[in-house]
Amino acid sequence: MTVANEKFSREDEAILLDTIQRWTDRELKPIVKEYDHADRYPHEIVEQMKEMGLFGATISQEYGGLGLPATTYAKLVMIISSVWMSITGIFNSHLIMSLAVEKFGTPEQKSLWLPKFASGEIRGGLGLTEPDAGTDLQGIRTTAKWNGSEYVINGTKTWISNGIEGSCIALLVKTDPNAEPRYKGMSLFIAPKKEGFTVGKKMEKLGYKCIDSGELVFDNYRLSKEHLIGGVEGQGFFQATGGLELGRINVAARGVGLAEGALRLASDYAQVRKTFGKPICEHQAIQLKLGEMVTRARAARLLTLDAAETFDRGERCDMEAGMAKFFASEAALENSTEAMRIHGGYGYSKEYDIERFYRDSPLTCIGEGTNEMQRMIIARQYIKRHSVA
């Protein structure tokens, strides 16, 4: 997943994933329900994530990161998401910001920012969406005007993950609002919190609790040219969307975790809950549900690993990442819904974990490009690859 693409052996991977599994079981499982219901930011878990190197998971070793390939990273996200999906967002959005700097930044920007991103000393995310522009990213209105010595930035971003608890974001703006086509007037900045950068409000959400989603306001916020990623205006749209293949593989991995986690909860419950004198897993109607859930979860995993492997080989993978993201997120939603129904009335209770999966899953259908858009991307790319012209 890194720019440098370090070697990472199967043995290294097994040790890392075993550590993540044990950490998930020991530290996350016992507290997830309490934190989720209180919508509490997990500060002490963030400290542990720092120690484990998760904030540098996909940053090259040269800059102090772990340098994980996309496949290993996806498996790691699957493990954590099968218990507590939302906390993967704390390091994932941060890693997408880091990727933009590593892939497109100047040598000075990389050596200045990446070690601090890798250690977690500076944490953040991606500031793209605005109140009036999400899918249509080229419709953003935040502007950065050069006044002869620095950029003066004005505008509002919304739904920004890590926008409140983090200290820096990759900020997409218009440096030329009149450019045609519109993307040519867009630029991406490394934007640390300081005067002129304020948090408007915390967004209240259905699920995806504990991680902060903030509205961010820029009021005559000033940045020097050294903060413009790559040092050249007009590259922002491609820099911001350049990490989307990886972003989609990550969301797919979250979907796999949710689909597998929901399946596991349903399977465990169905073996102990009895009706009409036998465990409900022995009723054919429940078996039909479980059979579909197992298949969906497995298919989602295979599609996601296929996309990650394609990425690790350095090949174009927009169609593969799109298919993985689309399928795995829908699998998450379907498995969570079915698992909740298998729990009967208890599935509707906050005492059981399954209600969290039911609330968390829909986000995976929205983030990193909605599933409506994914299907169009997949279709267009397929036609391009199989053109009759």
- What amino acid positions are annotated as catalytic residues? 368
210 to 239: interface string for ligand FAD, x by CB under 6 A: ---x--------------------------
38-97 positions binding ligand FAD, by CB under 6 A: 93
Between 244 and 317, CB nearer to ligand FAD: 244
- Confirm or reject binding of residue 373 to ligand FAD (CB under 6 A): yes
User: Rounded to whole angstroms, what are the CA distances from 3 to 63, 79, 99, 105?
Assistant: 11, 24, 8, 12
Least distance in Å: CB of 107 to ligand FAD? Answer: 27
Return the residue of 79, 100, 331, 363 that touches ligand FAD, per CB under 6 A. 363
Least distance in Å: CB of 158 to ligand FAD? Answer: 7
Least distance in Å: CB of 99 to ligand FAD? Answer: 14
Helix 88-104 vs helix 244-272: angle between axes, to the nearest 10 degrees?
160
Between 126 and 308, CB nearer to ligand FAD: 126
Least distance in Å: CB of 369 to ligand FAD? Answer: 7
Of 191, 100, 123, the closest CA to residue 152 belongs to 191
Task: Report the distance separating Cα 136 and Cα 92, nearest Å.
Answer: 22
Task: Report the distance separating Cα 257 and Cα 332, nearest Å.
Answer: 8
Return the residue of 247, 255, 347, 367 that touches ligand FAD, per CB under 6 A. 367
Interior/surface letters 288-307, b for 16+ CB within 10 angstroms, e for the rest: ebbeebbebbeebbebbbbb
Between 313 and 375, CB nearer to ligand FAD: 375
Between 168 and 290, CB nearer to ligand FAD: 168
143-202 positions binding ligand FAD, by CB under 6 A: 159-161
- Confirm or reject binding of residue 249 to ligand FAD (CB under 6 A): no
Between 99 and 263, CB nearer to ligand FAD: 99
> Closest-CB residue for ligand FAD?
134
Q: Long-range contacts for 129-136 (Cβ within 8 Å, ≥24 apart)?
A: 129/157, 129/158, 129/159, 129/160, 130/155, 130/156, 130/157, 130/158, 131/156, 131/158, 131/215, 134/159, 135/369, 135/370, 135/373
Task: Report the distance separating Cα 68 and Cα 95, nearest Å.
Answer: 12
Q: Are strands 197-202 and 168-174 parallel, antiparallel or unpaired?
A: unpaired
275-334 positions binding ligand FAD, by CB under 6 A: none
98-137 positions binding ligand FAD, by CB under 6 A: 125-129, 134-136
Least distance in Å: CB of 110 to ligand FAD? Answer: 22
Q: Are strands 274-275 and 124-127 parallel, antiparallel or unpaired?
A: unpaired
- Confirm or reject binding of residue 208 to ligand FAD (CB under 6 A): yes
Between 213 and 361, CB nearer to ligand FAD: 213
Upstream peptide bond of 177 is cis (omega within 30 degrees of 0): no
H-helix segments, the chain: 10-23, 32-38, 43-52, 70-84, 88-104, 107-119, 236-241, 244-272, 284-312, 318-342, 354-366, 371-385
Least distance in Å: CB of 146 to ligand FAD? Answer: 24
Site of interaction with ligand FAD (CB under 6 A): 93, 125-129, 134-136, 159-161, 205, 208, 213, 363, 366-367, 370, 372-373
